[in-house]
Amino acid sequence: MIKVNNIEKSFGDAHILKGISTTFEKGKTSLVIGQSGSGKTVFLKCLLGLYTPESGTIEYDGKIYSNLSDSDKRELRAKIGMVFQGSALFDSMTIAENVMFPLRMFTKQSKSEMEDRVDFVLKRVNLVDAHKKMPSEASGGMQKRVAIARAIVNNPKYLFCDEPNSGLDPKTAIVIDNLIQEITDEYDIITVINSHDMNSVMEIGEKIIFLKDGYKAWEGSNKTIFKTDNEAVTNFVYSSELFKKVRRMYLEEDL
């Protein structure tokens, strides 16, 4: 479990995160949503240890991150998989080399062991014959799948995704959503996703954190979000026509 305890984060006079507390559990896809400037990117970077909160704590399975030694922090990072918004593949490396990169950084496996693991995860994301391709030869959806393969190659306990559907068409976005949820279930890992995609919220939002102006304004699931009367949430999500339609359906079920 990741436990966030009343964290505060500022940059100069700008107070970005204002007393956020929540938990993230194994085997669940958790989405952090909110408008631009709501604090969700800073929140994700705090979870990753890239930013240090001025107050409050973040615990990984009972261990407070800020209290860890440098070696313990490195050990923890080896258990974290990250899918970046733009995939962040190395242009000069093949797809197989990109996926192998965390193994080279964090393990002492032999080359054959690393190659076997790369084969396994590329097969898992349905990229069986893509090893020798360069990122420039891959579509946007394929690049996202490569990024997911790289994120899980080291058997992570925690998976973080920053806008994984950014730039994808709706059909491909659904494929990526389903893949992330399947991997979360299979590996029983903690998955936290920053997203503005309401389709993702409805498809895989087992837990949803809504941030507004640096506060946690609402917390629930993709079931309860359809019924909420929280004005901040409804103002944000009503821009989605699909949300309006599905919300009406859920409310009618209660009649």
Instruction: Record the pTM.
Output: 0.89
**Dist CA 80 CA 47 (whole Å):** 11
Indicate whether 252 belongs to any domain. Answer: no
| Spatial CA neighbour of 170 closest among 192, 149, 199 | 199
Indicate whether 204 belongs to any domain. Answer: yes
Indicate whether 132 belongs to any domain. Answer: yes
> What pLDDT was estimated at residue 235?
81
pLDDT tens digits, 191-206 = 999 998 888 888 899 9
List the alpha helices (DSSP H) in 125-218: 140-152, 170-187, 198-204
**In the chain, what percentage of residues exceed pLDDT 70?**
93
SS3 145: helix
> What pLDDT was estimated at residue 233?
86
The lowest-confidence range among 34-43, 196-205, 215-224 is 196-205
Alpha-carbon torsion (133, 87, 51, 208), positive or negative? negative
Dmax of the chain from CA atoms? 61
With contact defined as beta carbons under 8 Å apart, do 28 and 209 qualify? no
E-assigned strand segments in the chain:
2-11, 14-24, 29-33, 55-60, 63-64, 80-83, 158-162, 190-194, 207-212, 215-220
The lowest-confidence range among 126-140, 141-155, 206-220, 222-236 is 222-236
pLDDT tens digits, 15-25 = 999 999 999 99
Indicate whether 206 belongs to any domain. Answer: yes
**Dist CA 205 CA 60 (whole Å):** 21
Cβ–Cβ contacts within 10 Å for residue 35, how many? 16
Indicate whether 90 belongs to any domain. Answer: yes
Indicate whether 180 belongs to any domain. Answer: yes
Indicate whether 216 belongs to any domain. Answer: yes
Question: In the predicted model, is pLDDT for residue 250 greater than 60?
Answer: no
- The total of structural domains in the chain comes to 1
With contact defined as beta carbons under 8 Å apart, do 214 and 18 qualify? yes
Say how many Å lie between the first and final Cα of the chain, rounded: 37
CATH for 137: 3.40.50.300
Question: In the predicted model, is pLDDT for residue 242 greater than 60?
Answer: no
Q: Tokens 């491909």 appear where? A: 172
pLDDT band, very low/low/confident/very high, at 239 (cuts 50, 70, 90): low
Q: At 154, list the tokens.
A: 């080291």
134: domain range? Answer: 2-226
Indicate whether 241 belongs to any domain. Answer: no
